[in-house]
Structure 1
């Protein structure tokens, strides 16, 4: 009777979920099949041992998303995020005609914005809300863009040029020491340099046709748009093309080694930080030159307009520095490796050049075998992490964290089996596995993160030869397949040698309660298992 009743309930719930999902633009299979009462399933909880592990400098080249700016966090100190990038030629330039004159040089890089919050007014203008910006709104900073003097190789000579070259978060000094000449963004408009801020306003260009006199307006979403020094690019790019320096990309990358973005405080402004897709950026050089046309014995010279585009699709590196002189003192005082025997009371997750949490399940001798012998049917298994609200009161909590197999530096089985997706926001995919920030309905502040690790626990109980691996927990910018690949620590140790790429992209941090007895019972980290007993 119990089995029949159970099957009927499951069929009803599955039918409801199926019908409901038809109206969703993303798949949410298995999200909440087990409700608050869990269909009268039994519940048991187990202690979890968790400790902190700092990474130190970590590989940070060729990330999909990079931070830029200055962020002061009470828990994790002040992070300054600079950036280095190669530029590429989408088309080589082998000839420049006579009397070239540069009209404009503009660097453009789009910002992320929340399309669902964009408002279009009656006059056709748009109001945008920027996404992935942390810190005070429109906080001013000093931005300097230089030609880079640091050559970024594709392959590592130490490996006999067989492996990709790695670049690390702590190499800002290397780039700063070899920057070329004065800054390129020397426009008289201070918002492009000494008083730069991430501007949410759209860009509007109005032009009048010289023949029809029709006025047209082109509107583009917000982004960095800097006027660069025209004389400098006349010498380096136009004259360089005449000298054959733009004949191939290999020649060009050795000649013009890219851009270096340097962020500094502007007066007493605290600054803020944005996540940016630099690879969508480009430098557009507009110039005119003579065009000679000869008919018979008559030569006519006319001025023609030309354009050279430099894409920011070459090698890149995120350059991070942490300052703990006025904030983040407790975090800075933490040992490189926490208490591996009894666990730490709090887990400090910090992205970038930061720290991960290491978790150990079933630490009581014989505990795992007792559960295996019980023959339980595991319906659901969860890890719920509670945010230290007092510590995070004045900090921006990361929107997502990521749980993985720490021993083997790879995703756990529940990650792979979760096929849910979110077409509107790919960062919200894998909703069953989860790890997204849960917020309080009233305060809007973050409260918990939850992971479903049902299949991980099932496999651990089903197969006696399964290894009870440690689990790693990190801040994440995204958890798509590319983002969960591992990046190397510059100085590995006996406890850690690499961390997920996703954690390097996002420099935010959060403070979570761990599983020690000193933590209040309702906030303590535990493994929750819902199960049914065999008949």
Structure 2
């Protein structure tokens, strides 16, 4: 008799193996799943009107991750990313004994890193993620006490709305620094010649009376000024400045991280999760009045609370001209589209232009048919698959690191298109490639023809089926995290644009892609539809 249990198990294993094989290559993930086998289906490609849109300064407080450093690119210019954050006590109202003496104050900010290997001695090697710039990049890094109180609520709205801070407010925080440079170690690798290092941190510690080697994953590690923290923290206990974090945050208003060029050295930038950072004050105090033994203790400060990502971007001439209002062609679209994170730029896309390109390469439309969408509706197409194909301009910024992902959204309403919500796919081991069916992940298996492909099947189906639905404009932007689908406000909104995707604000990256008027027709921005004609 046939063993159905065995059959089911075999089918399950085969299915898992198949899905795993689809997920092995990051660059092609999701691309094949959007459909390669279209037997019996017909295909039409539609040109898409796409043009550049400059954003300008944008709200940048309380982002999930933040850049720190200087990123120089051929395609866009140079971005300097500073950062300011509030600080909170891990344990409020600490009790400090007699004769406390600080031995060290250490700031640690973990990198996004991956363990590669561990040898027989227990030493490990790591690779760092989200680091931009050459391997020999160096920065002049300075950490100061911030003198600016970052508010929760906006007094101009009667404290009814959250306070917004913007990318262009660096000068405001710079002007009120409240201390000298805190990372003033004689080790210039911690300040004037700072670099992002993948090296494992090794140190010794006494465990049960025995000296033991300890190891930690790579992180920014800075020795901070002991005298400052003696006065600012230890001495402030007596005046009740550490009694609660509300009191403490007004007293110690946070840290301001400033980066500058380090001489003639090339620069670099890292994406960091400052919420996982901490300052550890290591000190010793007397055990009691009668016991001369000194006891080791710590006070830990967490870099949590309100934050602001501060950017200063110097555009090169080509980029500045391309996104200027005088150069943008909102009727026929632009030759190249410049997608730049932070206070950069995005592209506005219009599907089914009125009688511009026709269907299947035929110019014009029948009498009484207003545009391509009406023609599809009239012919009662059954949409099997639709996707936007955006080709990377491989020569425009050949030496720059290419953005891994772009995000397509409903520009009119500042929300994701429906295909975003239909996709609950995840990719094991790589959170950045979640929602891979929705797509937008760079496919660069052929470097000369790299492209982003984004699913619009449900969006197009809805437009075709619901004749009263609005053919909204779409926005195309860089994204740091596909999981973040909210929007941030522009400092100076216009009638055309008032918000941009939050995940685009987070990212320091950019991508130059071919637009509507690409020189080579095969590179044009395309909407590809596979369909079945209704009988």
- Structure 1 and Structure 2 fold alike (TM over 0.5): yes
Q: How many residues in Structure 1 have an aligned counterpart in Structure 2?
A: 505
Distance 1:61 1:234 in 2: 30
Distance 1:465 1:310 in 2: 56
Deviation of 1:275 after TM superposition, in Å, equals 0.7
| 1:345 aligned residue (319, 324, 335) | 335
Distance 1:122 1:425 in 2: 28
Distance 2:84 2:64 in 1: 14
| 1:474 aligned residue (477, 490, 501) | 477
Matching residue of 1:10: none
Deviation of 1:335 after TM superposition, in Å, equals 4.4
Query: Is the 1:94–1:244 Cα contact (8 Å) retained in structure 2?
Result: no
Matching residue of 2:181: 183
Deviation of 1:153 after TM superposition, in Å, equals 0.7
| 1:282 aligned residue (278, 282, 297) | 278
Q: Which runs of 5+ in 2 are unaligned?
A: 1-10, 355-369
TM-score by length of 1: 0.90
The answer as to 2:166 corresponding to 1:168 is: yes
Query: Is the 2:34–2:437 Cα contact (8 Å) retained in structure 1?
Result: no
The answer as to 2:412 corresponding to 1:407 is: yes
Can you list the C-alpha shifts for 1:257-295, whole angstroms capped at 9, x where unaligned? 1100000011101201111111110000011223436xx
Matching residue of 2:394: 389
Query: Is the 1:140–1:266 Cα contact (8 Å) retained in structure 2?
Result: yes
Q: SS of the residue aligned with 2:416?
A: coil
Query: Is the 1:87–1:314 Cα contact (8 Å) retained in structure 2?
Result: yes
Deviation of 1:369 after TM superposition, in Å, equals 1.3
Q: SS of the residue aligned with 2:99?
A: coil
Deviation of 1:181 after TM superposition, in Å, equals 2.1
The answer as to 2:376 corresponding to 1:371 is: yes
Matching residue of 2:307: 316
The answer as to 2:223 corresponding to 1:227 is: yes
Matching residue of 1:494: 495
Distance 1:477 1:243 in 2: 43
Query: Is the 1:70–1:270 Cα contact (8 Å) retained in structure 2?
Result: no
Distance 1:45 1:24 in 2: 30
Matching residue of 1:9: none
Deviation of 1:159 after TM superposition, in Å, equals 1.7
Query: Is the 1:95–1:242 Cα contact (8 Å) retained in structure 2?
Result: no
Deviation of 1:521 after TM superposition, in Å, equals 1.5
Query: Is the 1:26–1:421 Cα contact (8 Å) retained in structure 2?
Result: no
Distance 2:64 2:197 in 1: 22
Deviation of 1:313 after TM superposition, in Å, equals 1.2
The answer as to 2:445 corresponding to 1:440 is: yes
CA distance 1:341–1:374, shift in 2 (3 Å): same
Matching residue of 1:454: 457
CA distance 1:446–1:58, shift in 2 (3 Å): farther
Distance 1:366 1:159 in 2: 45
Distance 2:151 2:91 in 1: 21
Deviation of 1:440 after TM superposition, in Å, equals 3.0
The answer as to 2:330 corresponding to 1:329 is: no
Matching residue of 1:107: 107
Matching residue of 2:200: 202
Query: Is the 1:353–1:507 Cα contact (8 Å) retained in structure 2?
Result: no
Distance 1:400 1:22 in 2: 21
Query: Is the 1:26–1:420 Cα contact (8 Å) retained in structure 2?
Result: no
Q: SS of the residue aligned with 1:161?
A: coil
Distance 1:92 1:316 in 2: 21
Distance 1:446 1:429 in 2: 24
Distance 1:34 1:271 in 2: 39
Query: Is the 2:35–2:385 Cα contact (8 Å) retained in structure 1?
Result: no
Distance 1:249 1:228 in 2: 21
Deviation of 1:33 after TM superposition, in Å, equals 5.4
Distance 1:91 1:80 in 2: 34
| 2:294 aligned residue (303, 325, 330) | 303
Q: Which runs of 5+ in 1 are unaligned?
A: 1-13, 294-298
- CA-based RMSD: 2.2
Matching residue of 1:92: 92
Distance 2:523 2:449 in 1: 14
Matching residue of 1:217: 213
Can you list the C-alpha shifts for 1:24-74, whole angstroms capped at 9, x where unaligned? 697999864565451131000111000100110000111111111111111
Deviation of 1:23 after TM superposition, in Å, equals 4.6
Distance 1:33 1:144 in 2: 47
Can you list the C-alpha shifts for 1:327-374, whole angstroms capped at 9, x where unaligned? x21111234442212211110000001001000001113321111121
Distance 2:173 2:214 in 1: 37
Distance 1:25 1:509 in 2: 27
CA distance 1:305–1:160, shift in 2 (3 Å): same
Query: Is the 1:138–1:199 Cα contact (8 Å) retained in structure 2?
Result: no
Q: SS of the residue aligned with 1:40?
A: coil
Map 1:13-52 onto structure 2 (within 5 A): 18=15, 20-21=17-18, 23=20, 32=32, 35-52=35-52
Distance 1:372 1:23 in 2: 38
Distance 1:503 1:382 in 2: 21
Query: Is the 2:34–2:455 Cα contact (8 Å) retained in structure 1?
Result: no
Distance 1:174 1:187 in 2: 27
